[in-house]
């Protein structure tokens, strides 16, 4: 796989000037004909955020002074939702990068390897504004309710950079299967649709760890990349904690595996993509 990884690096070096401009163009492409443009992504998130908070907290009484993992339930829910928005886009939009850009590489000779990179950067670009605004809202909520947020800057930076690394590696690995097989595409959509309930957005891994029957699931979940990133962001912004080094090491190994195999697959598939799309 060394040859394939080197090929990925060479394509990124040769096209480094275009990656960020392509990412920006991709980020605004969906909403460029609207008045608000890319900020419609923020509006959609805010609407979902308010609605979900109303039904999960106001109607079910999950606010108040009760805590989850040492933080108010509102904070626990908000940080989970914000980080899940970004990861979910990687899982759903990132792997569709080849289909989204089929009009380019089917007509001209185009460096296939850079497509997952600039599409993931486009997702990050669309979501970073949402992150910034929700961080402000979280801090405001904490001050208004006599709760002092303890932000670990290094943990927060690690979470954001780690999410981009995971997004690129995951898109490289999965986009090939997603592009060439319609059956896999439908199966994948069904799995991702319910994945929201398998990540700790409104529940905690510690609840599973205390179970006699499913206690063994907790260590696996903690090292599942989306869960690791959600917890990393959550604890760094709410409790001032940096992720455990053991979890970071496992996360890096998983990303390296996805990246290496992804480079291999993309190198082999780039010549036949046009036949499938």
Structural domain count, the chain:
1
pLDDT at 99 (0 to 100): 83
121, 19 in Cβ contact below 8 A? yes
Q: Phi-psi bin for 64: left (phi > 0), alpha (psi -120 to 50), beta?
A: left
User: What pTM value is reported for the model?
Assistant: 0.87
CA 180 to chain centre: 23
Spell out the long-range contacts of 234-237 with Cβ–Cβ below 8 A and sequence spacing 24 or more: 234/71, 234/76, 234/79, 234/80, 234/83, 235/69, 235/152, 235/155, 236/151, 236/152, 236/154, 236/155, 236/156, 236/158, 236/159, 237/79, 237/135, 237/138, 237/149, 237/151, 237/152, 237/155, 237/156
Cα(85)–Cα(98) distance, rounded to whole angstroms? 21
Residue 38 sits at the vertex; the CA angle it makes with 33 and 39, to the nearest 5 degrees, is: 115
Domain that holds residue 157: 2-276
How far apart CA 253 and CA 273 sit, in angstroms, is 28
Instruction: Tell me the C-alpha distance between 73 and 142, whole Å.
Output: 12
Can you give the pLDDT at residue 17? 84
* Each residue's pLDDT expressed in tens, for the chain with a length of 277 residues: 788 898 898 889 988 888 888 888 887 776 666 666 666 777 777 777 677 667 665 655 544 457 777 788 778 888 888 888 889 989 998 888 888 887 776 667 778 889 899 999 999 988 887 777 777 777 777 777 777 778 889 999 999 999 999 999 999 999 888 888 888 889 998 898 888 888 888 788 877 766 666 667 778 888 899 999 999 998 898 888 899 999 999 999 999 999 999 999 988 887 777 666 6
């Amino acid at each position: 796989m060394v040859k394939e990884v080197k090929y990925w690096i060479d394509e990124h070096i040769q096209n480094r000037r275009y990656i960020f401009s392509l990412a920006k163009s991709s980020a605004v492409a969906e909403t460029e004909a609207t008045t608000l443009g890319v900020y419609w992504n923020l509006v959609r998130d805010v609407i979902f955020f308010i609605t979900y908070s109303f039904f999960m907290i106001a109607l079910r009484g999950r606010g108040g002074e009760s805590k989850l993992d040492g933080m108010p339930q509102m904070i626990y829910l908000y940080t989970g939702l914000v980080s899940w928005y970004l990861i979910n886009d990687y899982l759903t939009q990132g792997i569709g990068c080849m289909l989204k850009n089929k009009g380019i590489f089917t007509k001209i000779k185009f460096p296939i390897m850079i497509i997952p990179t600039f599409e993931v950067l486009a997702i990050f670009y669309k979501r970073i504004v949402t992150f910034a605004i929700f961080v402000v809202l979280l801090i405001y909520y904490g001050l208004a309710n006599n709760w002092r947020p303890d932000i670990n800057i290094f943990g927060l930076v690690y979470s954001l950079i780690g999410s981009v690394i995971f997004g690129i590696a995951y898109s490289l690995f999965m986009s090939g299967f997603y592009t060439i097989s319609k059956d896999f595409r439908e199966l994948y959509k069904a799995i991702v649709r319910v994945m929201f309930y398998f990540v700790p957005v409104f529940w905690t891994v510690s609840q599973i760890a205390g179970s006699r029957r499913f206690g063994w699931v907790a260590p696996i979940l903690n090292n599942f990349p989306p869960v690791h990133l959600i917890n990393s962001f959550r604890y760094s912004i709410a409790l001032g904690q940096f992720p455990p080094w053991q979890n970071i090491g496992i996360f890096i190994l998983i990303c390296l595996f996805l990246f290496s195999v992804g480079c291999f697959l993309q190198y082999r598939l780039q010549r036949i993509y046009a036949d499938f799309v």
